Amino acid sequence: MDKISKFLHGLLNVFMAGALVIMVVLVFGNVVLRYAFNSGITWSEEMSRYLFVWLTFLGAIGALKEHEHLGVDMLVKRLPVKAKKAVLIISDLLMLGVLVLVLDGSWKMTLINMDSKAPATGLPLSFVYGTGIIVSITMGLIIIMNIYRVMTNKVKEEDLILVKETEESAHTYEHEYGKGEKQA
């Protein structure tokens, strides 16, 4: 299961990097064409916008998987282990509830927009609204796995707090990349 998870996470990162590269090329190319040649690619802006939507939503999946979403943990840090587990399960269940709402809304919007086409690219607008379906299902699976791990005691106490502090990120960065140039 861990190998599949790592493979999917790597695939997600490759797709996000590819989307970012395509966005940069489209936007930069369009700017050059407009200023240098007084022309442009008509569908470039629209496609960049759709890729940005996909990039944002898929980035949310990666952030959830790596526990990199923002959160406030002042209270949770001070709780005993059993209370931390209870709070984590309750928050995960609340997130699942929200994801069900996102799935329902995205499904309805996707069906409504199946026949609607984007003006410049001609893509079905369901291409954009379908993002919510993929994201809600994927995030739901991640949360269900988190709940399973907590319920079966396969999680360490320090992993019961699912947010990373800025200071922790800074220390990790310094450890991996050094503190930068020394000042004279």
Task: Give the tens place of pLDDT for each residue, 97-137.
Answer: 999 999 999 999 999 988 899 888 888 888 889 999 999 99
Angle at 109 between CA 106 and CA 113, to 5 degrees: 135
Mean pLDDT of the chain: 84
Amino acid (1-letter code) at residue 173: Y
Task: Give the tens place of pLDDT for each residue, 31-62.
Answer: 998 888 888 888 888 899 999 999 999 999 98
Helix (H, G, I), strand (E, B) or coil at 173: helix
* pLDDT attached to residue 171: 59
Angle between helices 44-65 and 2-37 in degrees, nearest 10: 150
Amino acid (1-letter code) at residue 115: D
| Mean per-residue pLDDT, 170-174 | 57
* pLDDT attached to residue 21: 93
